[in-house]
Every structure is written in structure tokens, then in C-alpha cells.
Structure 1
Amino acid sequence: MLHYFDRTAVDAWKRLTSDAPVNRIRATVRAGRDEMRNTLLSWLPTDLHGKRILDAGCGTGALSVEAARRGAHVVAIDLSPTLVELARERLPKDLGDGSIEFHVGDLLDPTLGRFDHVVAMDSLIHYKSRDVMRVLSGLAARTDGSMVFTFAPRTTLLTLMWTVGKLFPRGDRSPAIVPVGQRKIKRRLNKGLASWHTARTHRISRGFYISQALEVVRT
């Protein structure tokens, strides 16, 4: 997965996360990601002054920038050194009272500290439900407010794409997007995370972009 995001797909991600012209398929992905980012941000408090936010799987940093502009101190982490370096290059100077601290590595690294809110946009869509649960359990131990994340919903289209993708030689594949049933993941979370409960959920489907947002809130 790291090789794909750090080398194979870097040029595509540079274009997708910029204003550069893209084909129709990537345009739907860009529009879907923009809508999803706005959705997740809308689930955070409008005023984030004094709050620590973890952007888990920050990519090129667009969500981190918007959270920082609300006053947050954002810890932005990604596995890909190339994408994090691109995020640093794109970092605007007008962050107001907020700040962004970039890291390359494991989002579960305990040295990152505690957080008021965690956002994981499209960074867990390659995980099976039990692995999503493992990651969120680790993050919950260091989060005081809410965790908002996305997963790939188990739709007919995504299940078909996942099945067909498994037929290609491993070297020719991008990391598989693993469809997860919404009821299953909510049941796992409500049962497995003490003092937490699932709250808002929202699905975005724009052409080739299909993703489901879910909010988990500390009781």
C-alpha cells in the first residue's frame, strides 16, 4: 500500500487534489472527496480554538488546512513521505490562530498524544471491519470528543469492483477498497467501544466515488 501511495499514484494524487484538469472519472472522484471533506468538517465544532485534531491519513493536507483555519492545532499524519512533503509545500500562510504539525508514520503512534477529535477520511477504506475496529479502539483510548471516519459501504457496485480487482495479478493492483456493511461496523463499534456510541452517518456517491461517513461520540 505504501509503495502505491508513495510512488505509483503520486502524480495522479497531485492532479486530483489540485485545480488541474482531470478526466470525467477523476472529476467525479474529486467532487465526491470535496463533498466528503466538507461533511466531516461540518461534524466538528465550528470554533476549534484550543483543540487538538488528528488528521489520520492526511494525504495532501486539505482537511488539515480547513481545521487549522478554525483555530485547531492539527496533527497531520500519513504513511507516505511523498504526500506529506507535498502537503508541506502546499501549506498556505493564512492559517490564522491554527497550526499544523506534519508527521510520517503510524496513526496509532502513542507519542502523538491525546486529541479532542480524530478525522480519518478515506484512510480506513482498505481495511476489513475487524481492522477498522482495531484502529478505532486504539484511537479511542486517546480521544476525548469524537472520531469521524469513512468506510467503503457494501454496495453492489463496490462489491463487484472488489471481486473483479482480485482477479488481477497482485503487482498490477492498487490497494483494494474493502466493502464493509454499515450495520456490521456500527454493531461492532457500539458493542466494542465502552463509553462511545455511533451517531451521524452520511453516504456520498458521485460517479466512481462512493464512501460512507460515520461519527462516533464519547458518551
Structure 2
Amino acid sequence: MIQHYFDRTAVEAWARLTSTAPVSGIRATVRAGRETMRNHLLSYLPDDLSGRRVLDAGCGTGAMAVEMARRGAEVVAVDLSPTLIQLARDRTPTDLGGGSIEFRAGDMLSPQLGTFDHVVSMDALIHYQSRDVVRVLEGLGQRTRRSVVFTFAPQSLFLAGMMMAGKLFPRGDRSPAIYPVRERALRRMIERDAAMRHWQVGRTDKVSRGFYISQALELTRR
């Protein structure tokens, strides 16, 4: 369902949201929230990424990938949606400084992607239940040398209300399910997971802008 939604149902709306085109007041809060969150995640990475390989897992239209490449990174940007990947390619500026971007449509957990110094995943894991979030982190962690930074949907009454309101829309117009996660529970699951024993939880930031609610979490190698 996630691929179908971003590849067909919502591709036009998503393209507009991630551009500079005028949008509704509600979508403007989402756009502003996403920009703030992107800046938080970028702040968790070194200013100079020269010589480092970075995975943008769930890259969407490529805004994060471009910023990391401008810091000198060799970026592999992956998304399930071939349509969004093509849009990302079309939007990528020709001058990326010393960095580069390789866009791929596919699975962020594919071993064919190789190994990385850092992994960034913004608003992709919000569509996974907590146990599956940890499973994905296990897979990414096995191929990452330095840090994994990602976002999840923090559990709150407001987010629960928005999700209930979303169920009133016709099924074909609904976005993929978002699964709120308690931060404390997620931290505990990561800390108790044997496969994550070489990782520790670092910084976190929460962004709440209108209809955009998301929380960043940093994992670093011990």
C-alpha cells in the first residue's frame, strides 16, 4: 500500500508539497514541519561528510540527499516509489560540490546497497509498528559504521485524533497507516535487543507544527 500511495494516489500532492508552489494552510504547516525536521537530522551529521557513504532511506523527492551531497557525501538515496525517484532525479541540481547522489527505487534493507558510514531515514519508519521499527534498525545497523538517525511518530492524543479523523476519508484517499510509538518503549526495545548491543541512543528532537508531528532519534556505535 505504501508504494501504491506514493507512486500513484498522492504523487501529485506530494510533488507539490515538497516544492515551493503555494499550498493550503494545513499543508503549509506540514511543509514547515518537514523542513524543521530535516534540519534537525542534518545537525546530527558532521558538517563535512567528504569521503563518507550515506544512505538516505526513504528519500522521497531528494531534498535531504542534496544537502548531504553538498557536504561532500557519497549518497545512495532509496525509495519504494519509482515515480518519486524520477522526480528526485529531475530536481537534483547539477552542482553538488564534492558530493554525489545515486538514486535507486527499491528496498532500503537490500544488501545490494552495500555498507555505509551513516544512515538517515526521515518519516519512513512512521509507517511501521514499533517491533518492525526495531527490525528495520537491526538490518540497517548491520551495514552501518557510525550512526543511524531516523524519525518515528510519537504517541500523543493529538496524533491519535488526527488518525481517527483520517479514517473518515474514503479508503482510496487515505494515506498509509501511521503507527504512534512511545519514546520510552522504543528506547527500551532498542536497548534490550541483542542485535543492537553495539548501538546506543543519542540525541532526540520533537517537531510539532500544525498537522506535522514527528520525533527524531539518533543511534551511534558504541
TM range (shorter): over 0.9
Q: Secondary structure at the match of 2:77?
A: strand
Q: Secondary structure at the match of 1:125?
A: helix
Deviation sequence 1:119-173 (CA, Å, 0-9, x none): 0000111110001001000000000000000000001011222344456554342
Letter aligned with residue 17 of structure 2: L
Deviation sequence 1:155-195 (CA, Å, 0-9, x none): 10112223444565543421011111000111111111111
Deviation sequence 1:55-109 (CA, Å, 0-9, x none): 0000000000000000000000000000000000001011011000010000000
Q: Secondary structure at the match of 2:72?
A: coil
- Answer with 151-160 or 76-85: which moved more: 151-160
| Cα distance in 2 between the residues matched to 1:143 and 1:178 | 25
* Residue 213 (structure 2) pairs with residue 216 (structure 1): no
- Answer with 161-170 or 96-105: which moved more: 161-170
8 Å Cα contact 1:61/1:87 also seen in 2: yes
| Alignment-derived partner of residue 70 in structure 1 | 71
Q: Secondary structure at the match of 1:161?
A: helix
* Residue 166 (structure 2) pairs with residue 147 (structure 1): no
| Cα distance in 2 between the residues matched to 1:182 and 1:120 | 17
| Cα distance in 2 between the residues matched to 1:125 and 1:154 | 11
TM-score using structure 1 length: 0.97
8 Å Cα contact 2:73/2:100 also seen in 1: yes
| Alignment-derived partner of residue 197 in structure 1 | 200
* Residue 87 (structure 2) pairs with residue 90 (structure 1): no
Map 1:60-209 onto structure 2 (within 5 A): 60-166=61-167, 170-192=171-193, 193-209=196-212
Q: Secondary structure at the match of 2:147?
A: strand
8 Å Cα contact 1:162/1:178 also seen in 2: no
TM-score using structure 2 length: 0.96
Letter aligned with residue 89 of structure 2: R
- Answer with 153-162 or 82-91: which moved more: 153-162
8 Å Cα contact 2:203/2:218 also seen in 1: yes
| Cα distance in 1 between the residues matched to 2:174 and 2:23 | 21
| Cα distance in 2 between the residues matched to 1:216 and 1:178 | 20
Q: Share of identical aligned residues, percent? A: 66
8 Å Cα contact 1:162/1:179 also seen in 2: no
- Answer with 185-194 or 171-180: which moved more: 171-180
8 Å Cα contact 1:165/1:176 also seen in 2: no
Q: Secondary structure at the match of 2:127?
A: coil
Shift >6 Å, 4+ stretches = none
8 Å Cα contact 2:73/2:99 also seen in 1: yes
| Cα distance in 2 between the residues matched to 1:172 and 1:36 | 25
Structure 1 unaligned residues grouped into runs of 5+: none
8 Å Cα contact 1:122/1:151 also seen in 2: yes
Letter aligned with residue 107 of structure 2: D
- Answer with 169-178 or 46-55: which moved more: 169-178
Q: Secondary structure at the match of 2:124?
A: coil
